[in-house]
Structure 1
Amino acid sequence: MITQETAGALAAVLDDAQTSVSDTPSLADTHTLTVDDAYAVQAALLARRTARGERPTGVKLGFTSEAKMAQMGVSEIIVGRLTDAMRVVDGAEVELARFIHPKVEPEVAFRLGRDVDPHDPDADLADCVDAVAPALEIIDSRYRDFRFTYEDVVADNTSAAGYAVGPWLPVRDVSDLAVHLTHGGSRAEGTTAAILGAPVNALRALLDMARRRDVPLRAGDTVLAGAATAAVALTPGVTTCEVAGLGRVSVRSV
């Protein structure tokens, strides 16, 4: 287990990469990290951001597709943290100069209607959701040449960089809805079933991770359940995510 001082130093490396918009080598080049170590670095990274005045706004899940898990050689999701500095208003402009090599993914977002105690044995996260919406997530790995380990991704706050959420709607079944991602002249098609078989399964997995990783789940938090298609490079233009029965959300990158 790395020391708190080392976790803080590695968090500083990643934070500096993000704020200076310059990539950094894999942490594995200089340190052997366990998954616990990686979450300690992530926590230190979030502490740096909140010390600058950022406010936590929710959580995001990664590796929610079987193909991605197999690619990374893992069997569980990863959890990252969202802040208000990452939030993009639906339809608004987002400056590409903020990012190193951004990509964008279509997702389903849930909103928590009340605080959740992950250690409550009777807690059911799905019962605490009061709204659902289409969403876009901007991911931006801070690692050079996209060379990273599983632990690197966790430490880097699961590549969290930005997110936009469409209009919130009352809770409904989103188990197998068609998803369309359009960007410029390209189009990707998928289904919400790609998210652990159904997005509600992501909520169950999140509750378990929140219990083990001491992730707070508060009323009003946004939960990004995971990608419904492969990510595409974010370049200048309009990106739109449309989820059948939920509507659409878009951003304009400049």
Structure 2
Amino acid sequence: MSLAQTLDRATRTARAVPQPPPGAVAGSPEAEVRAAYDVQDDLVRFRLDRGERLTGAKLGFTSEGKRRQMGVHDLILGRVTDGMAVPDGADLDLSAFIHPRVEPEVVYLLGRRIATVADAFAEGAVAAVAPGIEIIDSRYENFRFSLADVIADNTSAAGYAVGAWQPYDPAAWNRGVVFELDGRPAHMGSTAAILGDPRRAVVEAARLAERIGLVLEPGWLLLAGAATPAEPLTPGTHVRVEVQGLGSVSFTARPAGEGAS
């Protein structure tokens, strides 16, 4: 069974799998990264073959501190589908997840086709912006992985919720973020934690997408990166994120089979 098949089975059964042994993906660090994105391609294709539709892309390791912690020097790119979407205000059944975590995001709505970095600088690249919540859920045991492992696992992408779209103002990028669990602030931060300026996310996503031959399509979402540390998502938890000037987004995690919608 290939690594993509193993990770897909882990996703479908919500059962973690062991981390691959070192060097299992391939060769030098650069070759490992290239091979890991090939595995990611196959993993995403399994979802599309089951009828899901690509809805966007997401960035990982946008925090310098997180990159230092993981011993990496670049961002990573994953993809999201409509099968991962969680409606704002919904009850979320946790039976589809292994050991999920949640984190606050800024989400961009892409307004044009972005095939190169130059396209990311073009007028209309971003059509709107919204507050978001990302659910990450590594398919590996104990949420442990190497850089190549997490790229292959589609950057732990598992779910996302997006609030109401707001007009995009490129001058208003340093916004306060409140990340609440059960009505109490778990973290407070700023969108400036995302690459120093979340507007850079579009350029960085274009750079990484061009490297792997992915075109970012108009109407896609771009999850720009986490503004605070992630927190475990447990049954019964109400998650809410508010971004200054953009509004809020929320959902409630329910035990498997209990009141999900």
Aligned mate of 2:46, from 45, 48, 54: 48
Once the two structures are TM-superposed, the CA of residue 97 in structure 1 deviates from its matched residue by: 1.0
Secondary structure (helix, strand or coil) at the match of 1:179 reads strand
Structure 2: gaps of 5 or more residues: 27-31, 255-261
Q: Distance in 2 between matches of 1:110 and 1:122?
A: 15
Which one is further off, 145-154 or 34-43? 145-154
Alignment equivalent of 1:22, drawn from 5, 15, 27: 15
Whole-Å separation in 1 of the counterparts to 2:122 and 2:209: 11
Q: 1:5 maps to what in 2?
A: none
Shift of 1:207: 1.1
Secondary structure in 1 matching 2:180: strand
Aligned to 2:75: 77
Residue 164 (structure 1) aligned to one of 155, 161, 164: 161
Shift of 1:127: 3.7
Does the 8 Å CA contact 1:126/1:203 hold for their aligned counterparts?
no
- Unmatched tracts of structure 1, length 5 or more: 1-7
| Structure 1 runs (4+) greater than 4 angstroms displaced | none
Answering whether residue 2 of structure 2 is matched by residue 9 of structure 1, we say yes
Please state how far the C-alpha of 1:159 moved relative to its aligned partner.
0.3
Contact 2:107 2:131 in 1 (8 A): yes
- Give the C-alpha shift of residue 216 in structure 1: 1.8
Match of 2:178 among 171, 175, 180: 180
1:154-184 Cα offsets, whole Å, 9 max, x none, are 0000000000000001111342111010012
Q: Counterparts of 1:83-94 in structure 2 under 5 Å?
A: 83-94=81-92
Cα distance in 2 for residues equivalent to 1:74 and 1:220: 31
How many residues were matched structurally? 246
One-letter amino acid of the structure 2 residue matched with residue 241 of structure 1: V
Q: Deviations over 1:1-28 (max 9, x none)?
A: xxxxxxx811000000010010001123
SS at structure 2 position matched to 1:28: coil
Letter matched to residue 190 of structure 1 = G
Structure 1 residue 118: deviation in Å? 1.9
Q: 1:126 & 1:109 partners in 2: Cα distance?
A: 18
CA distance in 1, matches of 2:68, 2:101: 21
Contact preservation (8 Å) 1:174, 1:192: no
CA distance 1:43–1:32, shift in 2 (3 Å): closer
TM-score by length of 2: 0.90
Following the alignment from structure 1 to structure 2, what is the Cα–Cα distance between the partners of residues 111 and 131?
A: 5
- CA distance 1:125–1:140, shift in 2 (3 Å): farther
Tell me the equivalent position of 2:228: 229
Q: Within 5 Å, which residues of 2 pair with 1:1-254?
A: 9-28=2-21, 31-33=24-26, 34-118=32-116, 121=118, 123-124=120-121, 127-172=124-169, 173-184=171-182, 185=184, 187-235=186-234, 236-254=236-254
- Assess if the C-alpha contact under 8 Å between 1:28 and 1:149 holds in 2: no
